Amino acid sequence: MITRTLTGIALVAAAGFLGSWFVVCGGTADAADKDDVGPKLHALVDQLTPEQQAALLLLLSDLTAKSGQAEAAAQDPLGIAKEGMAAFVEAAKKGDIDAMMANISSDFEHYQLGDKEGLRGFLQNAAAMGYLDELKISLEDTEAEKDGDLVILYPVEVEGAFGTAVFEFEAKQEGGKWVISGLDASGI
């Protein structure tokens, strides 16, 4: 009940504040640069009840935090692409091929494996031979480099029944998440 009330107060305060902001700015985006906007906005905030001011402050601080997080993620390709890799790594450690494939791009290409279905076949064969058992995968030393719309993640160290290999993964955004669109391995 309290959460619903605070949410309602925040929405009313935000709607009123934003509507007033538009009026203060003269209904144009360019008007936001006027020198008298600050005092007018201050006067508008003073007209809000203390509860509405608190709710507006919470709303604005949440929006600011989310904006900062999004900006930081956009500037940190390792951070955003590494999150996508983490899901693939966890699925690989469990030997869950379907979950691994959920983190592979529909445009996946590899010079030996072919497309996404070729990779699935390779992983199924590797699992049948025990090569996916007890995998150790480390992203600890992994670095990222942005290359256009892609992020290159290297080195990704993998240790298993086959020995040790170092992978380079190519990741891209697809359907709102980072997925693997290509790979290269050395040491296999």
Which pLDDT belongs to residue 97?
95
pLDDT, position 36: 61
Determine the pLDDT at residue 84.
76
> Domain 77-186 carries which CATH code?
3.10.450.50
What does the alpha-carbon distance between residue 165 and residue 147 come to, in Å, rounded to a whole number? 23
Q: List beta partners, residue 166.
A: 157, 186
Output the pLDDT for position 112. 93
Give per-residue pLDDT as tens, 105-164.
Answer: 999 999 999 999 999 999 999 999 998 888 898 888 988 888 888 999 999 999 988 899
Q: What integer best gives the mean pLDDT of the chain?
A: 73
Encoded amino acid at 155, one letter: P
Residues of the chain with CATH 3.10.450.50: 77-186
Q: What is the pLDDT of residue 23?
A: 47
- Per-residue HEC secondary structure of 4-58 comes to HHHHHHHHHHHHHHHHHHHHHCCCCCHHHHCCCHHHHHHHHHHHCCHHHHHHHHH
**Is 28 or 82 the better-scoring residue by pLDDT?**
82
* Percent of the chain residues topping a pLDDT of 90: 31
- Nearest-10 crossing angle of helices 37-47, 2-24: 150
Residues 13, 7: Cα–Cα separation, whole Å: 10
